[in-house]
C-alpha cells in the first residue's frame, strides 16, 4: 500500500530528531509522515552517544545546560518506554565519565571546568592521577588528575535510531522514502513539500528536521531559513576482544593539545573513539590526518588501544548553529516548524526535543523549558533588538 500524500504533520528528515518528533506527534493522534530517502541515517550513525551534559559544559552555555539536563533526566524513562514498545535494547549504560588531564595546561583547563560545574550546581569530583588510574587501570601513567562525573551516561545511537524507526512504524507514521526537494508555500503558509520524484506531499504542519542540510531546502523563505552549518566529525570504532575486557569501565575523555578526544566503551565490546571537529563544508572524507590525530591522542590517554582491532572509520556532519543550541518550534512562517541545530548534543537532546515538538505541534507554543530555543531568536526583529 502506498503512503498517503496528505498528513497532519510532515517531518522532513528521518534522523533521530525527525524520528522522535514524528513518533511523539503520532502518539498525540496526528496523522504523521516522514520524508527521507533513508530513514534512520544521519549524524546519529556516526555519533558516539555520550549523554554528557556535565562534562561538555562550556562557558556561556548555561541556558543550553538547562535543556541538556532536562533531557538527561528524561533518558531512563524514555529508554524504558522505547524498549518496552519495540523490544530493542538501546545500549543505555549508566557507567559515568572520567575527564582526565595529561599535562599542566590540561589540568588547569579541567580545574576551570570543575569550578564552572560547581557554580552550576553540578555533581563532579576532582581525583588525583593515582585515583583516576585506580578507577581505570588502562590509563597512561602520566595522567595528572581528572574529574569523575557519574551522572554522564551513554547510549548506542545506532540502536536508538533503529528503535525509533520501529516505534514510528508501530505508531502508524508513514515513510516516504524520497528526498524533500522544495517547501510548498501558499499565501503566507507552508503547506507541504514537493519531493525529488515530483510528488506533492501536503500537510497541515511541516517540521524541518534535516540536520545540517536543514538550511538548504529550496522554497523556504530567507527570513525563516535556519542558520545551520555542517561541522564534520571523524570517529573510529575499535573492538575489545573478550581477553582484554573490561578495557575501560566508563567513558574516558580529555582535551589533548586543544582537541577533544573521547573513548566510549560499550557493553558489547565496541569502543568508540571520537571526534574531530572540522569546518569544511559538506566534506565527509575520512582522512589519514583525522585518523592519525584521534589515534595519537587516544593512545596518549590509553596506550593499550594500539592492541585493539580497528573496525570502522567514519565521518558525519553535526548541525551547528550560531549559539551552539538547537532551533525548536514554530517559525515566522505559519505551518513551518524547526527541529534542528542540535550540534554536539543531538543524541542527548532527543527525548526533550520529541516532547517539546509534540507540544508545539499540539498547542502552537513551546513548553517553558524549550522557549529560549525558538528559531525566532535569530529573526530580523530579534537581531535588531540586540545592543550594538
Ligand atoms: N558530543 C560529541 C561530539 O559532538 O563530538
DSSP string for residues in 332-374:
SSBTEEEEE--GGGTTTTHHHHHHHHHHHHHHSS--GGGGGG-
Question: Does 357 map to a domain?
Answer: yes
Burial 360-374 (b: 16+ CB within 10 A, else e): bbeeeebbebbeebb
Tell me, yes or no, whether 316 and 234 share the same domain.
Answer: yes
| pLDDT of the residue at 2 | 65
User: How many CB atoms neighbour CB 70 within 10 A?
Assistant: 18
* Cα 209 to ligand 1 centroid, rounded to whole Å: 19
Domain boundary among 320, 338, 373: 320
Instruction: Note down the domain range covering 202.
Output: 5-45+159-228+322-384
Which atom of ligand 1 is closest in space to residue 275's alpha carbon?
5
* Cα 275 to ligand 1 centroid, rounded to whole Å: 7
Tell me, yes or no, whether 147 and 250 share the same domain.
Answer: yes
| pLDDT of the residue at 388 | 46
| pLDDT of the residue at 287 | 98
Domain count, the chain: 2
User: How many CB atoms neighbour CB 154 within 10 A?
Assistant: 27
Question: Does 186 map to a domain?
Answer: yes
pLDDT digits (tens, 9 = 90+) for 245-282: 899 999 999 988 888 899 999 999 999 999 999 999 99
Tell me, yes or no, whether 167 and 270 share the same domain.
Answer: no
Q: Report the nearest-CA residue for atom 3 of ligand 1.
A: 344
Scanning the structure block, which residue is given the C-alpha cell 502552537? 364
Tell me, yes or no, whether 223 and 257 share the same domain.
Answer: no
Q: Report the nearest-CA residue for atom 2 of ligand 1.
A: 344
Report the alpha-carbon distance of residue 299 to residue 253 in Å, rounded. 12
Scanning the structure block, which residue is given the C-alpha cell 550594538? 388
Question: Does 83 map to a domain?
Answer: no
Q: Reply yes or no on whether the pLDDT at 380 is more than 70.
A: no
Domain boundary among 305, 320, 335: 320
Question: Does 79 map to a domain?
Answer: no
Q: Report the nearest-CA residue for atom 1 of ligand 1.
A: 344
Instruction: Calculate helix-pair angle for 62-86, 350-363, nearest 10 degrees.
Output: 90
263: helix, strand or coil: strand
What's the alpha-carbon Rg for the chain, to the nearest Å? Answer: 21
Tell me, yes or no, whether 144 and 241 share the same domain.
Answer: yes
Which atom of ligand 1 is closest in space to residue 235's alpha carbon?
5
CATH number of the domain encompassing residue 366: 3.50.50.60
User: pTM for the complete prediction?
Assistant: 0.96
* Cα 262 to ligand 1 centroid, rounded to whole Å: 9
Tell me, yes or no, whether 175 and 124 share the same domain.
Answer: no
C-alpha cell of residue 306: 594500539
Tell me, yes or no, whether 196 and 174 share the same domain.
Answer: yes
Question: Does 367 map to a domain?
Answer: yes
Tell me, yes or no, whether 331 and 376 share the same domain.
Answer: yes
Mutate to test the pocket of ligand 1, among 262, 317, 320, 324 (most ligand atoms within 8 A of CB): 262
Domain boundary among 294, 320, 346: 320
| pLDDT of the residue at 244 | 87
Which atom of ligand 1 is closest in space to residue 345's alpha carbon?
1
CATH number of the domain encompassing residue 297: 3.30.9.10
* Cα 184 to ligand 1 centroid, rounded to whole Å: 34
pLDDT digits (tens, 9 = 90+) for 300-330: 999 999 999 999 999 999 999 999 999 999 9
* Cα 331 to ligand 1 centroid, rounded to whole Å: 27
Question: Does 60 map to a domain?
Answer: no
Strand partners of residue 260: 255
Question: Does 260 map to a domain?
Answer: yes
* Cα 356 to ligand 1 centroid, rounded to whole Å: 22
Residue 75's nearest CA partner among 356, 373, 366, 349 is 349
Report the alpha-carbon distance of residue 98 to residue 124 in Å, rounded. 10
Which atom of ligand 1 is closest in space to residue 260's alpha carbon?
5
CB 318 within 8 A of CB 278: no
Which atom of ligand 1 is closest in space to residue 318's alpha carbon?
4
Tell me, yes or no, whether 356 and 284 share the same domain.
Answer: no
Q: Where are the alpha helices (DSSP H) in the chain?
A: 16-27, 62-86, 104-119, 129-135, 157-170, 288-301, 350-363, 380-385
Tell me, yes or no, whether 147 and 185 share the same domain.
Answer: no
The average confidence (pLDDT) of the chain is: 95
Q: Which residues line ligand 1 (CB under 6 A)?
A: 50, 56, 233, 274-275, 318, 344
Residue 224's nearest CA partner among 371, 379, 386, 385 is 379
Question: Does 76 map to a domain?
Answer: no
Report the alpha-carbon distance of residue 382 to residue 138 in Å, rounded. 50
Tell me, yes or no, whether 107 and 196 share the same domain.
Answer: no
Tell me, yes or no, whether 242 and 296 share the same domain.
Answer: yes
Confidence of residue 382 (pLDDT cuts 50, 70, 90): low
Amino acid at each position: 500500500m502506498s503512503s498517503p500524500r496528505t498528513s497532519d504533520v510532515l517531518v522532513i528528515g528521518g534522523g533521530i530528531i525527525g524520528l522522535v518528533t514524528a513518533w511523539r506527534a503520532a502518539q498525540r493522534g496526528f496523522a504523521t509522515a516522514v520524508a527521507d530517502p533513508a530513514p534512520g541515517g544521519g549524524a546519529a550513525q556516526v555519533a558516539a552517544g555520550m549523554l554528557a551534559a556535565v562534562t561538555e559544559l562550556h562557558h556561556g552555555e548555561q541556558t543550553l545546560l538547562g535543556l541538556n539536563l532536562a533531557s538527561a533526566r528524561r533518558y531512563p524513562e524514555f529508554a524504558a518506554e522505547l524498549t518496552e514498545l519495540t523490544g530493542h535494547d538501546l545500549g543505555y549504560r549508566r557507567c559515568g565519565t572520567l575527564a582526565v588531564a595529561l599535562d599542566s595546561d590540561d589540568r588547569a583547563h579541567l580545574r576551570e571546568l570543575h569550578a564552572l560545574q560547581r557554580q552550576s550546581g553540578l555533581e563532579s569530583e576532582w581525583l588525583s592521577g593515582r585515583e583516576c588510574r585506580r578507577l581505570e587501570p588502562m590509563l597512561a601513567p602520566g595522567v595528572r588528575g581528572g574529574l569523575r562525573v557519574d551522572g554522564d551516561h551513554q547510549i548506542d545511537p545506532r540502536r536508538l535510531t533503529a528503535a525509533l524507526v520501529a516505534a514510528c512504524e508501530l505508531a502508524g507514521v508513514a515513510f516516504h522514502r524520497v528526498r524533500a526537494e522544495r517547501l510548498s508555500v501558499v499565501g503566507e503558509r507552508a503547506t507541504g513539500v514537493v519531493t525529488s520524484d515530483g510528488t506533492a506531499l501536503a500537510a497541515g504542519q511541516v517540521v524541518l528536521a534535516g540536520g545540517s542540510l536543514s538550511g538548504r531546502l529550496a522554497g523556504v523563505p530567507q527570513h525563516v531559513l535556519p542558520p545551520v552549518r555542517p561541522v564534520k566529525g571523524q570517529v573510529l570504532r575499535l573492538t575489545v576482544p573478550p581477553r582484554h575486557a573490561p578495557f575501560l569501565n566508563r567513558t574516558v575523555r580529555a582535551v589533548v593539545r586543544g582537541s577533544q578526544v573521547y573513548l566510549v566503551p560499550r557493553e558489547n565490546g565496541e569502543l568508540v573513539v571520537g571526534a574531530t571537529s572540522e569546518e569544511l563544508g559538506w566534506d565527509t572524507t575520512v582522512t589519514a590526518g583525522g585518523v592519525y590525530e584521534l589515534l595519537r591522542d587516544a593512545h596518549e590517554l590509553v596506550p593499550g588501544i594500539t592492541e585493539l582491532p580497528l573496525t570502522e572509520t567514519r565521518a558525519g556532519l553535526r548541525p551547528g548553529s550560531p549559539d551552539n543550541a538547537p532551533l525548536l518550534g514554530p517559525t515566522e512562517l505559519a505551518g513551518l516548524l524547526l527541529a534542528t541545530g542540535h550540534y554536539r548534543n543531538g543524541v542527548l537532546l532527543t527525548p526533550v526535543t520529541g516532547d517539546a515538538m509534540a507540544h508545539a505541534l499540539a498547542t502552537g507554543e513551546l513548553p517553558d523549558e524549550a522557549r529560549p530555543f525558538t528559531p525566532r531568536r535569530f529573526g530580523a526583529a530579534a537581531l535588531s533588538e540586540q545592543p550594538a
